[in-house]
Structure 1
Amino acid sequence: MTAVPARRPALRVDVVTIFPDYLAPLDLSLIGKARADGILEVAVHDLREHAHDRHRSVDDTPYGGGAGMVMKPQPWAEALEAVVAKAGPTERPRLVVPGPGGAPFTQAMARELAQEPWLVFACGRYEGIDERVLDHAREDLGLEVSVVSLGDYVLNGGEVAVLAMVEAVARLVPGVIGNAASLVEESHEDGLLEYPVYTKPDPWRGRAVPEVLLSGNHAAIAAWRHEQRLARTAARRPDLLHPSLGDAGLEVRLATPADAPELHLLMLACWVSEAVSNDRLDIPALHESLDDVVTAIAAHRTWVARRAGRLVGSVRTSVRTTATGADDLFVGRLCVAPDQQGRGLGRRLLALAEDDATDAIRTVSLITGARSERNIRLYRKAGYRLLPGPPQIAGTVELVKRRRTGA
């Protein structure tokens, strides 16, 4: 009988530390189950196995003086070489080094790391790891090295950060979370915090569940939840709420004809993926000429977002009259550069477009591809609902959101 080959894990994780027992929680809960199911492979390595003196020392005093000790390069080099030696000729893991001087760990970074097939975490201690180890990993071992900070504070070592990062990354790997829909409406997935949640009994100690959640009106519930997300974000994290806040490198303004060449290229880059998702090439944005973009800037209110000078996002609006004679704000050409997606910029641009409507406008609508699941998910989370019936344009869906105004 032919042996069935072992299932290849979706994500392989190696952790190098001087405290292997610190990583024991990775045997528990959903992460432990994913390991047992073969979806996730985790191996923990003791750095001291690569220390060769009788005390198995891995640290020494810093050159230049100063308090504390520095982790020695030789044990780290040998440990990383031993891990990489398990790779095939073309396989190379990504090395993640937790440290307060690194890039902030965010949900967007968790999604990025979840796309990697193999991650190696290096848990530093004391004053950190000799910098030459990182140089060796990049230059001699050919690894991509990322120094990552869990937050603006200092820990005794990298193990706590690795536990948090592995949990955040692994739960995004397909199959780890049983109900993938639970990943959608969570804090930081689109730049807003999560809405409050309730369960039985009702009432509890004199406190009732909000009536709208008992109504069975899914559109009203979606609108209420979106309002709660906005209110909670405004109260707890106002830096996330507006495109110009919390991102010193981001500039959002109305477009001018000078923006047209970059905007034309941005739309082509964004709608190529839409064409692939929807298996169609007759998407208008793919066929607009540069002159068409210049004309559109003059005819519609168009915003562009620039980060460090580069145009990374845009949205345009126009007012149209519906069949009932009411005014509707139509949102179009919402796009974010592919490498900038997942940071909440699309949601912020959408909110900016919505805020531009006058009180007399009672609805906001937009159109997207019928197979553009990521877009539809974003819009529904923002309070939009799918219009029933056949679409105006074949292969698309139209979504509408009723505005709450004083009019």
Structure 2
Amino acid sequence: MRIDVITIFPEYLSPLDLSLIGKARQDGLLTVAAHDLREFAHDRHRSVDDTPFGGGAGMVMKPEPWAEALDHVVAHPDRAEGQRPRLIVPGPGGRPFTQAMARDFAREPWLVFACGRYEGIDERVYEYSRADLGLEVSVVSLGDYVLNGGEVAVLAMVEAIARLLPGVIGNADSLLEESHEDGLLEYPLYTKPRVWRDRAVPDVLLSGNHAAIAAWRHEQRLARTAARRPDLLHPAQVTVDGGLDVDIRPAVPADVPELFTLTKACWVQEAMANQRLDIPPLEEPIGVLRASLDETHTWVARHGGRIVGSVRTAVRGDDLFVSRLMVAPDLQGRGLGRRLLRLAEDTAPDGTWTVSLIAGAGSSDNLRMYRKAGYRTAPGEPAIRGTVELVKRRRG
């Protein structure tokens, strides 16, 4: 991954030479380059700010130095033909930075961070970046507070993103149960000695019963999240037809074995409905499913601790492609499929104008649900024999 940072304080980024991020840079897993915005200001004072139109306190960063700096970075000689970076602008008016967003950014080969200062950057810089440079622009907030500039946020975000790159963390399994990886906080941790200042390690952790330990840790995660961050629990709890309570979260690698089993169960039904067995979900090995978590946004729905549904999406140009929408056979017909479909549609990023999906031509129940949701048959012949390609235009 390559990361470019445009700032008036390049020396602020020196901590990225330390610890695991510094080692990743030395090992060639990560390239970080800082660019001084003042190098693109040509007056004698190398000024990058001016007073705001309309009046008001503070200063606004001028558009021309930013345009020249972005032009310079985007024209980097090592970039692949036609490659464009994703532009991230830290700011209190952006979307909150989350672990899911860190995973999303970690899939990008090239990121550019624009560190604003003063009252912010002239709005036309965002328009120029999108329209003239063809960049996807994300304004991201580190939290509900205001900093003097974007550099602190960049340090935090780069560390959160870079540690997810393959090879940066020595033991990749240590990433699976961390706080926020599946919407919950991490369970309490203990090490030697067994008793310290009259405080003993919980007996269950010494039992050798791995099932009991896993259950205890899950209970602790729920309790800790409820006590410290109840907001993380509530948005994911939904109720569908018949009072079925489900918990919908982003999928994590630990979900793959159970998700693999659910996929086979659901697509056996599809094979019967379409009278064919050559269906990719039935043929793919578990490794392909695991790799898909890095290439798509995948959600799983749990009921009673069991994965009972899932859906995934991928952006293709200005279209959001929805796939692998599935519900456990014993819970079908209760509205969970419709709920997962709405979730997928609601996560479409700015700049996507349509949502599309593919269904088996013989899957009459699925086709009925999609048409009720506003999907229509796409023009032309489907690319895959025996399927129907459906598309829905997004509103607004």
Q: Place the TM-score, normalised by the shorter chain, in its bin.
A: 0.5 to 0.7
Alignment of 1:7-406 (within 5 A): 11-86=1-76, 87-243=79-235, 252-254=239-241, 283-287=267-271, 289=273, 333-338=308-313
User: Mean alpha-carbon deviation: is it higher for 115-124 or for 232-241?
Assistant: 232-241
**Contact residue 300 and residue 307 of structure 2 kept, 8 A:** no
- Measured in 2, the distance between the counterparts of 1:155 and 1:23 equals 16
Q: Cα distance 1:237–1:339, how it changes in 2: closer, same or farther (>3 A)?
A: farther
**Cα deviation digits, residues 311-341 of structure 1 (max 9, x gap):** x978697xxxxxxxxxxx895642234369x
> Residue 148 of structure 1 aligns to which amino acid in structure 2?
V
**Contact residue 262 and residue 308 of structure 2 kept, 8 A:** no
**Contact residue 125 and residue 157 of structure 1 kept, 8 A:** yes
**Cα deviation digits, residues 7-65 of structure 1 (max 9, x gap):** xxxx1000000001110000000000000000000001100101111111110000000
> Residue 207 of structure 2 aligns to which amino acid in structure 1?
S
- Measured in 2, the distance between the counterparts of 1:281 and 1:227 equals 29
> 2:359 maps to what in 1?
none
Q: How many residues align?
A: 279
Residue aligned with 1:145, SS: strand
Q: Cα distance 1:315–1:105, how it changes in 2: closer, same or farther (>3 A)?
A: closer
TM-score, reference length from structure 2? 0.65
> Residue 62 of structure 1 aligns to which amino acid in structure 2?
P
- Measured in 1, the distance between the counterparts of 2:310 and 2:124 equals 41
Aligned-pair identity in percent equals 70
**Cα deviation digits, residues 262-282 of structure 1 (max 9, x gap):** xxxxxxxxx9xx78999x899
**Cα deviation digits, residues 177-205 of structure 1 (max 9, x gap):** 00000000011111111001011122112
- Measured in 2, the distance between the counterparts of 1:241 and 1:282 equals 28
How far is the alpha carbon of 1:210 from its aligned partner? 1.0
**Contact residue 275 and residue 283 of structure 1 kept, 8 A:** no
Q: Cα distance 1:330–1:288, how it changes in 2: closer, same or farther (>3 A)?
A: farther
How far is the alpha carbon of 1:77 from its aligned partner? 0.5
Q: Cα distance 1:277–1:91, how it changes in 2: closer, same or farther (>3 A)?
A: farther
TM-score, reference length from structure 1? 0.63
**Contact residue 163 and residue 169 of structure 2 kept, 8 A:** yes
**Cα deviation digits, residues 65-122 of structure 1 (max 9, x gap):** 0010000111111001000111343110000000111111111100000000000000
Residue aligned with 2:148, SS: coil
How far is the alpha carbon of 1:285 from its aligned partner? 4.5
Q: Give unpaired runs (5+ residues) of structure 1.
A: 1-10, 246-250, 257-270, 291-311, 318-328, 341-348, 354-407
